[in-house]
Amino acid sequence: MRLKEKTHRKFVDFFEKISNMYQGQDFELAYSDIQRETGAASVTLKRAIQALAEDGVLDVQPGRNSRYARFRYLLAAQSVDAMESLSSEKENDENSMADEPQNNDTINENLQELLQLVDHLRRRVRTQEMSIALLQDRMAEIEDKLRKR
């Protein structure tokens, strides 16, 4: 089951944001809250959650009743694992190259700065996408009014 790229990105961004709020732990959400935040129809919501689970982005478990589900955002765990393995590799390099501890510190600082810049750009792109969608909706309304006259 394939989603449109825009829909897929919207749900991945949403679950990434919520996962960050819960610091990578499992969290329980009402389907209605997800719908409200993403602006998706219930059918799209179900398809998106199923697609994200199939893609390995989410782990979905039943919640306290049929209106809730427990989620685990798996990409956060993968990125944390990647960062841990990267840091362990850096530690190994530090042990072998004891002469360059300042160089590794600057690399870590540069990496953190780049990650922040990428996150900032991702948010800016998302804002611009939302602005474009709003303008397209307004254009469609105007075109409908013109056709009615």
45 and 11 in one domain? yes
pTM here is 0.51
CA atoms within 13 A on the CB side of 61: 9
Question: Which pLDDT score, from 0 to 100, does residue 23 have?
Answer: 85
Phi, psi of 65 (to 5 degrees): -150, -170
Question: Which pLDDT score, from 0 to 100, does residue 82 have?
Answer: 47
* 86's tokens: 């990267």
pLDDT tens by residue, 1-41: 577 888 888 998 899 888 888 888 889 999 999 999 999 89
68 and 11 in one domain? yes
Question: Which pLDDT score, from 0 to 100, does residue 28 have?
Answer: 92
10 and 70 in one domain? yes
Quote the domain boundaries for residue 56.
5-74
CB 73 within 8 A of CB 58: yes
108 and 53 in one domain? no
84 is a domain residue: no
70 and 14 in one domain? yes
pLDDT tens by residue, 67-91: 999 998 887 655 544 445 555 555 5
Structurally, the chain folds into a number of domains equal to 2
pLDDT tens by residue, 98-149: 555 667 778 888 888 888 888 878 888 888 888 888 888 899 899 999 988 8
49 is a domain residue: yes
88 is a domain residue: no
16 and 54 in one domain? yes
Give the residue from 42, 74, 106 where a domain finishes: 74
Residue 96 has pLDDT above 70, yes or no: no
86 is a domain residue: no
CATH number at residue 26: 1.10.10.10
Please tell me the distance from the alpha carbon of residue 60 to that of residue 120, in angstroms, as a whole number.
29
Question: Which pLDDT score, from 0 to 100, does residue 80 have?
Answer: 46
